[in-house]
Structures are given as structure tokens and as C-alpha cells.
Chains A and B, each alone.
Chain A
Amino acid sequence: GAGVSQSPRYKVAKRGQDVALRCDPISGHVSLFWYQQALGQGPEFLTYFQNEAQLDKSGLPSDRFFAERPEGSVSTLKIQRTQQEDSAVYLCASSLISGTGIYNEQFFGPGTRLTVL
């Protein structure tokens, strides 16, 4: 069956450029999470959607980061005026039900590796 997909898989941006990263979650999954993972580190939470509602955006590092999930399925993470410190792998995960309880396994996409020059 189809898993979580992300596009593009790789993105090279010049400093100051805007980028948009797409996530297609597993069909029917209520929850969608975005994470940022730097090399050699664990994922860092960015934001959480329950269907189309963005319930937690406390992890977004600055107002240059914006995420949306307008119809409760596909989500887009947008980064404006990219900086070198934004270089990382951006992971999207979806789960069947809401929240982070024990029965709510998160399924991860392959990630988008963003390099800002």
C-alpha cells in the first residue's frame, strides 16, 4: 500500500530563496507532523495538524516557516527567505488518530533534504 510520500526528495536553494516542501500522508490519517532533522541529531518537532487544523506550531523556529493542510490531506511546509541554518532533512509523518498516545504509530515519509547555499 502507499506510504507517506514527500517531494522533492532533494532541494538546493540559494540563500534568500523561498521553498515549498510537500507531504502526502497515508490516506485517512488524521494526524500529520513535520520535523526537522539535522545531521547526527534526532528529529525536532516543528508543527502538528489534526485534519486541517494546525493545533501546535510551537516548534516552528521563526516566522519564516509556515505550514498548511487546507483540506486535511496534503500538507505544505513553506520556508521564506531561506538561510544556511535551514539546511536539514525535513520529515513528514502521519498517524491514524490524533495525538501522541502509545497506539498512535507515526509513519514517516522519506524526507526532503534541503541544502541552502
Chain B
Amino acid sequence: QKEVEQNSGPLSVPEGAIASLNCTYSDRGSQSFFWYRQYSGKSPELIMFIYSNGDKEDGRFTAQLNKASQYVSLLIRDSQPSDSATYLCAVNRPPTDSNYQLIWGAGTKLIIKP
């Protein structure tokens, strides 16, 4: 089992609909959770982070965290063609004096159809 798992997709969503992206993680001690967006041929850029159970909203984006079930999700409302990209979930390992790693999922490719 991978430490951070995402459905590779592609996930196809009509323009204007809600896109739902999911991520599960294996280490219960993880504390910080990130969603990055990566356009084809480009480098990742941060969309949102979350650390508390529940929802966190930022514009059209909502991150949801459920530590008991060990999943984190990203909802994109009113999807636009410009949202078409690969979405990467990243989770930190439980912090220690020698651990500075973010563990990344393989990403979900999202396609917004006009």
C-alpha cells in the first residue's frame, strides 16, 4: 500500500459542475495536508493546506479532512477549463528531529469539458 494514494484519473467534469478529488494516507501521525496543482510540463503550485478535521474554504476550493478515516479531499466548485490539471495530494510524515519529508500521491488528472 502506498503511503498516499490518489485515483490517477482522468476525471472528466463538465464546465460549471463540482469536481471532487480524493486522497487517502496511511500514517495516522501525519499532521499537515496539502493540495498542489500541476499543469502539464510545469511545476507544482500550492492550492490549499489543511490541518484540522472538517472543511476549509478558499474561493471556489474546499478542502475536507477526516483524520479518523485518513482521507483528505478537494472540491472545486463552478469548474472552469483552466482548472484542467493534475492535482497532487501531499502529506507530511509525523515530524521528528530528522524527518522533513512531504509524501506525495501520484496525482489525479482533472479534465474540465467546456
Contacts and interface: CB of A to CB of B under 8 A. Distances in A.
A25 interface: no
Contacts of A111: 43
Contacts of A40: 8, 106-107
A44 B3 CA distance: 12
Contacts of A48: 100-101
B43 A110 contact: yes
Interface string B82-114: 000000101011010011111111110000000
Contacts of B102: 33, 45, 100, 106
Most B Cβ at <10 Å: residue of A40, A58, A102, A105: A102
A59 interface: yes
Interface in B40-90: 42-46, 49-51, 88, 90
A38 to B, nearest CB: 10
A45 B3 CA distance: 13
A108 B43 contact: yes
A56 interface: yes
B98 A101 contact: no
Nearest to A31: B100
Q: How large is the interface on B (under 10, 10 to 19, 20 to 34, 35 or more residues)?
A: 20 to 34
B22 interface: no
Contact of A102 (B51, B88, B101): B51
A14 to B, nearest CB: 25
Interface in A29-62: 31, 33, 35, 40-45, 48, 50, 55-56, 58-59
B39 to A, nearest CB: 12
Closest 4 CB pairs of A and B: A42-B104, A108-B43, A48-B100, A100-B92
